């Protein structure tokens, strides 16, 4: 598992019945790790009710993620949707946690549509973690303040933390 993904999932601090949303799931490696942890926490019996939804706007990514997580999908633990975050409709679902790894939209502009969707998808008190690889990816630009500001305009109390190897995380709690 890549360090950025291991750290993002560690930040979630998963509990057995958490409902989790991953934005920009790519080929589904983080979803697979979340499923393994939810299973370990809840066992294989009916007590383990946690679940994860992975969304990505790329059909190729979703195809790979579905193939990688076939068993978890079968078990009702994982689900994937091909959709851009701005167009994602939570339709009555309420997530405890959301996360995204290396998703640029949160710092390249205002990300108003995207943050608004996150604020609707999470329950009150829900938390989003946005993780970025270090300087290699964003040309040494510190994206933390931009991400914090964008989340703050949509009701999140956000702060920045640093992980090993230049990883940067912004965590925002709703309400």
Question: CB 39 → ligand SAM: shortest distance, Å?
Answer: 21
Question: What is the side-by-side order of every strand in the sheet holding 168-174?
Answer: 78-82, 51-56, 19-23, 95-101, 122-132, 168-174, 156-162
SS3 per-residue string spanning 101-161: ECCCHHHHCCCHHHHHHHHHHEEEEEEEEEEECCHHHHCCCCCHHHHHHHHHCCCEEEEEE
The Cα–Cα gap between 36 and 72 comes to 9
| 118 versus 148: smaller Cβ distance to ligand SAM | 118
Is residue 136 classed exposed, middle or buried when 0-12, 13-18 and 19+ CB atoms within 10 A define those classes? Answer: exposed
| Residue indicated by tokens 């925002």 | 172
Question: CB 37 → ligand SAM: shortest distance, Å?
Answer: 17
| 118 versus 174: smaller Cβ distance to ligand SAM | 118
Chain contacts with ligand SAM (rule: CB under 6 A) = 4, 23-24, 26, 55-58, 61, 84-85, 101-103, 105
Question: CB 15 → ligand SAM: shortest distance, Å?
Answer: 22
| 23 versus 147: smaller Cβ distance to ligand SAM | 23
| 35 versus 103: smaller Cβ distance to ligand SAM | 103
| 102 versus 146: smaller Cβ distance to ligand SAM | 102
Question: CB 88 → ligand SAM: shortest distance, Å?
Answer: 8
Question: CB 123 → ligand SAM: shortest distance, Å?
Answer: 21
């Amino acid at each position: 598992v890549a360090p950025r993904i291991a750290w993002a999932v560690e930040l979630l601090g998963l509990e057995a019945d958490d409902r989790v949303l991953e934005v920009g799931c790519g080929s589904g490696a983080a979803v697979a790790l979340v499923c393994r942890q939810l299973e370990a926490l809840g066992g294989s019996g009916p007590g383990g009710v946690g679940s994860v939804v992975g969304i990505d706007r790329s059909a190729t990514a979703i195809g790979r993620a579905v193939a990688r997580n076939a068993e978890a999908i079968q078990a009702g633990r994982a689900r994937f949707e091909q959709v851009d975050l701005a167009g994602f409709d939570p339709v009555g679902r309420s997530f405890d946690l959301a996360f995204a790894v290396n998703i640029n939209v949160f710092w390249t502009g205002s990300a108003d549509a995207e943050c608004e969707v996150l604020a609707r998808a999470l329950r009150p008190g829900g938390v989003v973690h946005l993780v970025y690889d270090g300087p290699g990816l964003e040309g040494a630009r510190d994206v933390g303040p931009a991400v914090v500001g964008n989340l703050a305009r949509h009701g999140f109390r956000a702060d920045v933390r640093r992980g090993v190897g230049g990883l940067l995380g912004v965590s925002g709690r709703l309400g």
